[in-house]
Structure 1
């Protein structure tokens, strides 16, 4: 975008960005479906039908599900000993449709607020901040360049969130319709903020609906002496679990067993929380946690 012709350049930029985001949303949706099918198979021994319409077989294998994941993520797959394990397909499942128009509106709102709107405000501030004799003054031009850089960074973060919106939505809505799902848990990327790390440390939020699967394939998470570990900290609210800030790459994943769900990552963050906040409560504990996480971020 050009700070000197925001209306024209902003409209052209928005059209290009929206087309790119639509393509990335489709890729995100394909990857989310492949992940969910493989993850569900590993956890329960059952999977969902393919996302694409067509005849549905009665069964597949772990190897075929891994091949599908490698294909949609452009990754190289290493053969696994259990690739030939048969996996039943629950055929009575319909994938939710993508709300394209709603997602387009959300993308436009995010892009405009973080891009052209921010740039317009910065340009107005630069132009009125002090009297200038010439519009090609070096200081003024530098302020315009800085304003464009700032708006570009914000717009990139907005585009990033909108590009993965469809995959996140598919996992949540598909798992809400899945009778084998009993809850959800937050999983972070490798460099989360303090809020996201706190959400991950809480483990699972369970629904009131009993599982139809009768438990997952995995062994229950437990303490070293074999007794089930209890997560005594209160769970986060459901609405917080699916909140994503700009630049966030966390994901909410379904839970298929009511055994205490603490991933290795969640256990690690839970132990850190207990250590960092020992003797503190409320705002003091949250502040100590924030300082701890921020000091370790790359």
Structure 2
């Protein structure tokens, strides 16, 4: 589980590094004239890492299912004669690390494919919308504010500081939105598969080390069973939470989920804003 979450975070980090390199090559005053090229780089970087996130998630889902049920599920990249050993090998390949191994006896097969077909057009639209909101619209506003300031020397300290603040804000917003889409490549694959796989019971939310108040609240719900179908997993920019599939009633929640659940009970009720204040006061660190 930890290896899976770290690998998903690494994919988001790979995207962030690639996008940071692109932004570093463009000065603030040149961005407005480079939006077409920047959008192409942004969407391509998201697409590449999101595709890897999907492959990783399917390998993880298939491995966890086999470990808990003794049966392997069909779908993308399924290889006839799959064993726990081959499923571990697929997962290791997707993470880029040796995380585990298993026996090579052939597993029983459920031929159903619960994994959604990639909707490349929808994914491209989401990336385009993220770029528009986080880059193009911000650049337009920045250009308008710049025009209102009148002329200034390029080496003016205040102008340099203002441009740096703008670039930092642009990088933070666009990286967070893009990183969310990267990990959604895998999160969506798992969440949809859970609904269409007869062998799945539900999922729980695995947070990172320091989740926000919203993610802590969602994790505190514990297991989400298929009788409580939800429309979406509920991630946000800079979120590294992952849905962990459940195939057996013998599942065990992470310690953190129980702690968040107790915090919610101790909170005693109130608005989401009240919970946010309570959580910020009580959360460690």
- TM-score grouping bracket, smaller chain normalisation: 0.7 to 0.9
**Which of the residues 52, 75, 90 maps onto 1:68?**
90
- Say whether residues 1:256 and 2:278 are aligned partners: no
Q: CA RMSD in A?
A: 2.6
Structure 2 contact 152–159 (Cα < 8 Å) conserved:
no
Q: 2:142 maps to which residue?
A: 122
Shift of residue 134 of structure 1?
4.5
CA distance in 2, matches of 1:133, 1:165: 43
For 1:227-246, what per-residue CA distance to the aligned partner results, in whole angstroms no more than 9, with x for missing partners?
xxxxxxxx8x824x611110
Q: 1:97 maps to which residue?
A: 117
Q: 1:281 maps to which residue?
A: 269
Report the secondary structure of 2:28's partner residue. coil
Gaps of 5+ in 2: 1-25
- Say whether residues 1:106 and 2:97 are aligned partners: no
- Say whether residues 1:152 and 2:171 are aligned partners: yes
Report the secondary structure of 1:89's partner residue. strand
Structure 2 contact 75–111 (Cα < 8 Å) conserved:
no
TM-score (ref. length: structure 2): 0.79
Q: 2:8 maps to which residue?
A: none
Task: Describe the shift of the 1:155–1:51 C-alpha distance in structure 2 as closer, same or farther (beyond 3 A).
Answer: same
Higher-Rg member (1/2): 1
Shift of residue 113 of structure 1?
1.0
More helix per residue: 1 or 2?
Answer: 2
- Say whether residues 1:200 and 2:222 are aligned partners: no
Shift of residue 258 of structure 1?
5.1
- Say whether residues 1:178 and 2:197 are aligned partners: yes
The count of aligned residue pairs is 258
**Which of the residues 226, 234, 241 maps onto 1:243?**
234
- Say whether residues 1:48 and 2:73 are aligned partners: yes
Gaps of 5+ in 1: 209-234
TM-score (ref. length: structure 1): 0.76
Report the secondary structure of 2:239's partner residue. coil
**Structure 1 segments (4+ residues) deviating >6 Å:** none
Task: Describe the shift of the 1:191–1:285 C-alpha distance in structure 2 as closer, same or farther (beyond 3 A).
Answer: closer
